[in-house]
Structure 1
Amino acid sequence: MSVEREVARGEPMTSAANVVEVRIAAEPAQLAVMRAVVGDLAMRADYDVDSIADLRLAVDEACSSLVRLAAPEATLVCRFRTADDALSVTAEVISDDAFGPRKDTFSWRVLSALADVVSTSVESDPAAANGSHLVRIELTKGRTAHV
């Protein structure tokens, strides 16, 4: 596992945008790391308890979907971006599957209900000669206003 943190370049100083990247083996036993990271980032960004739980579950669903598609020995990469009003997650893995996660599943419905915006994409992996693909899920959840 590796963790990298950097202050996003080119962002206004008032946005306080940060990016944290975590790389783990694409195995179900490793998913607790991603849940812990997003939970900690959401807590530090002052999300309410329900939103933190939603983000943990959404990241778990997204990463679980990608682990099922992952090529053998693949690495799951998640980038967490915090901004003043939202937390965004980009999760990606190398896969032999050219189609990506199915959107007609219960898992996708749960993911869509937990996040404000969810999208997926599949790209040919230019670094691989074996026809592998980079499968990506992106999600964003805004912070609920405190009353």
Structure 2
Amino acid sequence: MSQTEPHRGESESTLQGVELRMAANPTQLSIVRAVAADIAMRQDFDLDSIEDLKLAVDEACSTLIALAAPEAVLSARFVVTDGVVQVSTQVASKRSSPPDRDSFGWRVLSALVDSVTTWVAPQAGDDEYVVHIDLVKRGLVDA
């Protein structure tokens, strides 16, 4: 499932999780992949689901890095609720349009997670925008 609208629900102040902030640089991807894998393991995801989340986070962050403004900071926030991992990623960009949802990378990303959402918001007082990609990955439910 691919959407272009932000999630509605709990306010950010009521959510708890882990947030990484790093230079929007490909050399930082191994860190965010490792955190995604660790969180999925702690939720008892099976090996395939762990790898899917890790690859999806990598693809989302890689996509944002390609869109990032010079010297931008990439943010990746992980929230776990009832065996569901929600990942919210964002970066400042000079582009006012979301990532290309017709690209091969986007199709792969969409196949790896239960839902993916993207949108762009203007950054206050600047000619930059904030590009968001949010992912949801559910662990396997016992039958």
Give the TM-score, by structure 1 length: 0.85
Letter in 2 for 1:134: V
Match of 1:109 in 2: 107
- Aligned-residue CA RMSD in angstroms? 1.5
Q: What do the CA deviations read for 1:9-56 (whole angstroms, capped 9, x no partner)? A: 64xxxxxx7410000100011011110001001101111110000000
Provide the secondary structure at the position in 2 that maps to 1:141: strand
Match of 1:71 in 2: 69
**Change in CA separation of 1:22 and 1:122 when aligned onto 2, cut-off 3 Å:** same
**2:39 paired with 1:41:** yes
Gaps of 5+ in 2: 1-11
Letter in 2 for 1:121: W
Letter in 1 for 2:39: L
Q: Is the 8 A contact 1:81 1:87 kept in 2?
A: yes
Provide the secondary structure at the position in 2 that maps to 1:46: coil
Provide the secondary structure at the position in 1 that maps to 2:92: strand
- In the TM superposition, structure 1's runs of 4+ consecutive aligned residues that sit over 4 Å from their partners are none
Gaps of 5+ in 1: 1-7, 11-16
Larger RCO: 1 or 2 (CA < 8 Å, sep 6+): 2
Q: What do the CA deviations read for 1:58-97 (whole angstroms, capped 9, x no partner)? A: 0000000000000000000010001113100000000001
Give the TM-score, by structure 2 length: 0.88
Select 2:91's aligned residue among 93, 98, 120. Answer: 93
Provide the secondary structure at the position in 2 that maps to 1:98: coil
**1:146 Cα deviation after fit:** 3.7
